[in-house]
Chains A and B, each alone.
Chain A
Amino acid sequence: MTAIPIAPLPRARRLSATPGQIALALAIAAFLLLFLGLPVGTVLYVGFTEKGTGSFTLVNFYDFVRTELFMRSLWNSFYVSAMSVVWASVFALPLAYLTTRFVFRGAALVQTLGFLPLIMPPFVGAVAMQLFFGRNGSINLLLDDWCGLKIGFMEGLNGVIFVQSVHYFPFILINLSAALRNIDRAMEEAAQNLGSSGFRLFRRIVFPLALPGYLAGASLVFVKVFDDLATPLLLNVKDMLAPQAYLRVTSIGIADPMGYVISVVLIVASVTAMWLSARALKGRDYATTQRGGGGLARRIMTPWEAVLGYGVVILILALVLAPHLALLLLSFATIWSFSPLPDAFTLAHYARVFGESSLYIKNTLIYATLAGGIDIVLGVAIAYLVLRTKLVGREWLDWAASAALAIPGVVLGIGYLRAFYGVTLPDGTPLASLWITIVLALAIRRLPYALRACSAALQQISVSLEEAAENLGATKARTVRRIVVPLMAGGILAGFVTSFSTAAVELSATLMLVQSNSDAPLAYGLYVFMQSAAGRGPGAALGVVAVLLVALCTVLSHLIIERSQKAKGMGH
């Protein structure tokens, strides 16, 4: 009996994973380290070291603080982000509140239309908005005719704030609507029962319960605006942080430390904003619809409230849909200048976009498809390792992949340039100038989205389904292939579509990485077109193509999710 070997047992427990799983985890870790860790690490390293010697220093940051332009840029970025949150809230609050807490005809339509701005890249919207709201745009021309005044909607920072808040307010709308919908009517009724009503009821019960949802949306808007490069550039606003980082690196060169210092500041601001919102949200999952609850309480509006409510909603929708209309008009316009509407219409811009400039579209489809593909492979693998194995340190993969959310696109682009420019291929071309770098950067940027979709899909699959397969003789690998992946298909596809469609219109990182026009994707082409007055027509046509592409993908992913939820009717 003493011959029973006891030694192998603890070892088996310590590894607690098959060799295949360990190899997979190591491969993913290597990929993340190389294409996320290394570039970001490089940026941090350069920011904190002395140029030439490589010794640690804070002098770069001292220079940053001493330079009036940078400090102004920092303040401007902060101001624009904060004001964008304010205005996005002004647009989102009435829409969310009216459509969720009242009997509101067309609530579904309003919620759908409220999504629309998201499918248009903000820098595309920027150009379109100039036409309606600019100094000599339609609105101001009309105002000038009628009242003899002009309003500087689009002047300087105001323009950035206006464009960003119109573009990003759906983030607040979505989160706030969800939060408002999740308030059980018993929560309100209990307050009424104890003597509360009207605005006091809203202030003491409804608003605090919806606050976490609002904060989640607001912090997202803040971070997105703070990081955005293309919109200020297109509006010719240069004294903000992201444009400064871009300009330093592109005009002075990748050796200049200031671009990296600004990048560090951008990262710190992003991480801080996310950390603050995570802290504020901690332990505040207020979703209160529950067993025995009565569902949502919807009030009926009095006639006057209805007039006011519909008026406000229509005004806001008109405002946020204006860029789409303007873009469409511009794409068909011969000349549109100093007049409320274009002079005449033509199809020439589309002919050009699909003719000589179709390269942009082709490149975009290739890049976004590859990036989306990489994302779902990584997403499925990481989700499986995290949720289904006991591998030591598996959460780190999840965190590392999600950390990409906190890295602004311009920072990742700068990191890629610096980290991979020195790496040359056998024929002497630097790695950073190859189009595959663009794909990798896009894949890293969109990985968090795909990962969330894959994790959610895997979480919905009961482990017993896999155990049943193993019980009947399938190995882990075959179980994944025959049971897990087919059941996750809907979620995987939705993840792919999300990654694909957002990668297709990404500009912040690509702006840094595109080395030649023949490698450029659609967003870059758009940016180049929009630089000149003559390019606006084709640029707008390209913008319409981009909007349609993203819209199509969004509808597709909704359909996929809906269908896979229906197919899983067995789940409940």
Chain B
Amino acid sequence: MVTPIYIFIIALGIAFLLPLLERAKKGAAETVFLAALSGIALISWHWLFSLLTGRCEIGEIFTAGFRPPFSINLRVGMEEAVFTSAINLATLAGAVYLIRELSGRGTKSMMLYLLFVMGMNGMVLTRDIFNLFVFMEITGIASYALVALRLDTKGLTAGFKYAIAGSLASIFMLLGIIVIYMITGTLNIDSIASRMVSFSGTAAAGFVAPAVFMLVFAFMIEMKQFPANGWALDVYDSAAPGISAMISAGSAGAALFAIYKILPIAGEGWYMAAAITGSVTFVAANLIGLKQERAGRLLGYSSIGQMGLLLTVVSLGLKGSLPSWQLIAVGLFINHLLAKAGLFWLTGITGEDRIRNWGVIARRPFLLMMMGLFMAALSGFPPFPAFWSKWTLVMSMFSGGMKVWVVFILLGSLFEVAYLFRWFGYAVRGGVEDGESGDIVKGTPEKTAVIFFGAALLTAVAYYMMGKMIDNSTLMLMPLVGAAGLLLFERFDPRVRGIVSLAAVLYYGYMIIPGLSGMPLFFNSFFLGGGAIMLLATLHRRTASRGFYPMLLLMIGSLSALALSSTSLQFFYAWELMTFSSYILVLRGKKAMKPALLYMVFSAAGAYLVMAGFASAGGTVFGGAGDGIAGMSGSLQMLPFILLAAGFLVKVAGMGLHVWAPGAYAEAEDDSSAIISSILSKAGVLGFVFLFIKAGTAFTGSTYLYSTIGWIGAITAFFGALYAAMQEDAKKLLAWSSIGQVGYMILGLAAMNQIGWVAALYHSVSHFMFKGLLFLAVAGVVYRTGTRNMYEMGGLIKRMPMSFISVMIGIIALSGVPPLTGFGGKWLLYNALIERGWYLQAALAFFSSTVAFLYCFRLVHAIFLGQAKPAFRKIKEAPRSLIAAQYILIMAIMMFSMKPSILIKPIMGIVGERFDTLLTWQANTLYSPFGYWNGFAVMMVVCALFAILLVILLLISPKPQKVKQFNIVFAAERPETPETTHYAWKFFTPYERAFSGILKPAATRFWNAVGEWAEAVAAMSRHIYSGNTGAYVVQIFIFGILLFILSRGGLS
């Protein structure tokens, strides 16, 4: 093995040689500089590889010919190898990224960089506490200078602040070190730790606590803990992004490793204090980050937050409260290292600091994709390392009884998601404010390559961790593989991409569905079949639509994985994958920036509830895999039930938690809206199905909980319908209607009897068909008219008869009147509710479906009837692929309406023996305890009635006279503008007035207030970072006092 001493020899030797080399041959310095960094990196990688494969033992390197404690020693164990390898990799990539800037500043800057790298390696490797101090100072001095490298006022100020803070830290560190040396007589970290114990009770013991305090205090400053971290924010903010990347990724990691070595010296009493400090920093930094408008500083807040989280993990791990904490810490660290560096690098390429102007990056799809990838990684989305770490962290914390910690960590993560995706929203949708839209971001090839390299590495680590963590990782990987494979087709015509996606979904379904049974079979057929039909509808796209198909495929695939999951981790993995992909789909809508952010924040909050629910359920395996869940196990208790149900209620947009849904459903691209509201909304239904199966009805409080969920379902159905009736925007109308319809399904499931479940599942399919149909029809209309406001349409029946028929069929099915599928759903639902004794809920559900007539009528009347607007007199029927998909759905609706048994019988089989059998079939008639239903007969009766009425009308009415469209006369006066004779604006004003009392958007106001409060707190708190170095010094001392108080509490 190469002794790690060579790391220092190479760094120092080359650093001194560089000026000479540059004199000997111009341009040689860069090559040698990069070669030196590669050499350093190779040494650490060699150690890592050998240790991983077991080819060598842990390396103990002694210097000066003596054994410790008489000399300084270095150690290369697994942890050291991982950290140095990661740091050297990042710094090597960072050097490539910075090479032009560094060489532009001359060899001095490269010397500094080498010293910086050497210092960090030393901090990780050394086992001597004073040596640790020296390496810390070397790293520090090099970073002060690198921060000020550009010699601008901002950078110089930041360098000065950094140096002042660093000096304070080193003063306290030295004081601590010298007292510890006086007490223990050694500087060797391992010996100190063992000797410290023997001093309890002696005279020296009085000095131990202050010495340890000063040591920890110094490292806490280096770790940038709240509130002693204003200087660090200014550093991230002011340095060149390439340098900030290295400080955030590299030196923060080295500082973390240092404190990991120091904490055992400090002793057990300090673990808790350090963990609390870390969590406070994590929450505070992310909260304050909410108000941040500048990219560099935003990343600074995020970096500091991540350091706090890592400190918490390491301290709790050392305390022994977190099993497998090493895995958590390494996952979080590598994730932070690569993703944070990647985002800093991107900031350097765009050269744009205000996040509002990040629209500049949207013209470079590759860079945008990289940004999305880093964002996903940083926010802990699968399959990236932080996802696995956070999962393990929350699981272990819950099993260790640390529930309050979980709350804070999830809260901090939520803040982080909010500001990161706010930024990403600007990048995708923001455009450019100052009219500099002509600028196209240009990255030099080596910078772009470095970013790609970082992303690739992150993906590789993700793949490795995934293989270790999740059962059946190949199956779980399929959605990602599909999406990645589709990226290869990005340069092809959109229709080719669409057909390839369609083929992929069909093939995947063909491979997977025959082997399934039960709920997985139902939901997989539903998601994949529905997805295929919706994919067909997207084929009319002519525009570039970059990234649309990969994300769509990812979403369909993750829904399928969700239905296939057999463990809670698999479920949560698929759930998060689905959240991310659908977020991107929503964000693709033109005005979707804010709705998409709202969707992301609510989804993340819901997902955290789900995660906490799984954690609190402990080892309960959660999932729908085939026979594994036959029968009610009753294994869930109240807390997990409430958490999981709350998480799923967010997804189904239950009243109160629904504020994200209208915007997200309506503002997505038109064909995405159809997919999201008809298919994706069923993911929450699936969640409830799995939850109720697992929970059963036997646990304490179950009666109240189910009844609460039932009521929420009924109220959601009512308000969804009511709000839908008041919309002017056709897509908003359908969005509200979808919210209401899902409410019926939840109501049916919560009834917990056979009829209710059959009703819910049947209605899921039925809702998919008619809502998909309506959304696609409206998509066609919007595509042709270019507006979504219904009052601007009218009279389109002549121009778009096919779409008219679709909408007609759709609303008949939706409104739940015979003979179409909606009727069956409602009939079953009322039966279920009466059987359960939920009469009031049944009444409310019935009233809601009456309200639904209002908006159904509106849809037909405002869009298709009345006088056509002049502008739309010559528009064409909707594109063919949209129509084709609609008519497939119509055929399905007709088939299921005529013969409901082909749908209901399998559903009854799937619901199975879980409940007492209430429904029975006799031939084509379905019998419930309260009545019977024959779909075919109903259809025949209705058709006959209509036929008879038509005949009577034809007979009794006089000979009809054909009237041209504008041949109309009002009170003997011809209107000048006939199109105004069809009024559609504020159509239901009387009802609106009647309901005005309950139409107040209370939930929206409540959540707005929550958001405003969070922002106000952030806005207030961030003023402590005044930019004044003097104030920062005072804050460092205040932090010292707080830490002292905390440690006394922790020690006692």
Query: Are these two chains actual partners, yes or no?
Result: no
Name B residues whose Cβ lies closer than 8 Å to a Cβ of A: none
Residues of A within 8 A of B (CB): none
